[in-house]
Amino acid sequence: MNETDSSSSNRAIKIVAAVLGIPWVEVAVEAWKFAGKILRGMTHEGMYEVLEYESTLELQDKEGKKAVFRKRKKVRYLQNNIIAFQDYGWGDGDQFRGYRAKPGIPVDKYKNGYKTYILLSLREVKNRGDIDDFHIQWNIRNGFLRPDGFWETDISSHTKSVTVNLIFPKERPPQNIRLVETNIQKTSILGQDSIKPLPEGKIKITWSTNRPRLYEHYILRWDW
């Protein structure tokens, strides 16, 4: 904005203030606040918010050749006329084998950088306030062949709660589990309270948090 535009805007604010009998400074402040709310809404609101998110990665053999990933994402739409939902994931090996989702039908799949995106047609129109509970699953082949491994959870939408489960086979339990919070460069060791024995000798590791930080990358790392 040049000086002429700025001067014209100030004159307009003063005229409105005079008509309404309000000090022009207060009008300017209120206008600035209102504009800020609009911009924040456009930038951060997004298409939906996540009410609950839980994922489970199960390693099915001691070599790390077979694994299955399941996740449940309960979302509330924040806009009208939504007809599709975008899922995504990444990782080593052959991902997305036998991909299936409910609700939704996969209609497109493409890769952008290291992530693979899958577009789900909802087969109906969703509006603001509507809620969907997505159940998504796929198989992974040759994704965990190294003596150490990791699984990352990105927070790309406003999210109320997150739970991440790792299940290890009886023949190869983890030696330790570490939580890495990438953006704040923090690493924590998960305690014994996060470990639960399952039938058939399997080991389940659980990490959860409420109000995870937006755009944070939560990574569970392990040696086994």
Phi, psi angles (nearest 5°) of residue 15: -65, -45
Q: Is the pLDDT of residue 10 over 90?
A: no
Please give the pLDDT value at position 41.
43
Q: 194 — phi, psi (to 5°)? A: -90, -5
Q: How many CB atoms lie within 10 A of CB 20?
A: 11
Residue 114 phi, psi (nearest 5)? -90, -5
In tens, the pLDDT along 58-94 reads 999 999 999 999 999 999 999 999 999 999 999 999 9
Strand partners, 105: 121
Q: What is the Cα–Cα distance from 194 to 96, expressed in whole angstroms?
A: 28
pLDDT of residue 31 exceeding 60, the answer is: no
pLDDT digits (tens, 9 = 90+) for 129-179: 999 999 999 999 999 999 999 999 999 999 999 999 999 999 999 999 999
Given this model, what pLDDT does residue 26 score? 52
Q: How confident is the model at residue 11 (pLDDT cuts 50, 70, 90)?
A: low
Q: Please state the pTM of the whole predicted model.
A: 0.79
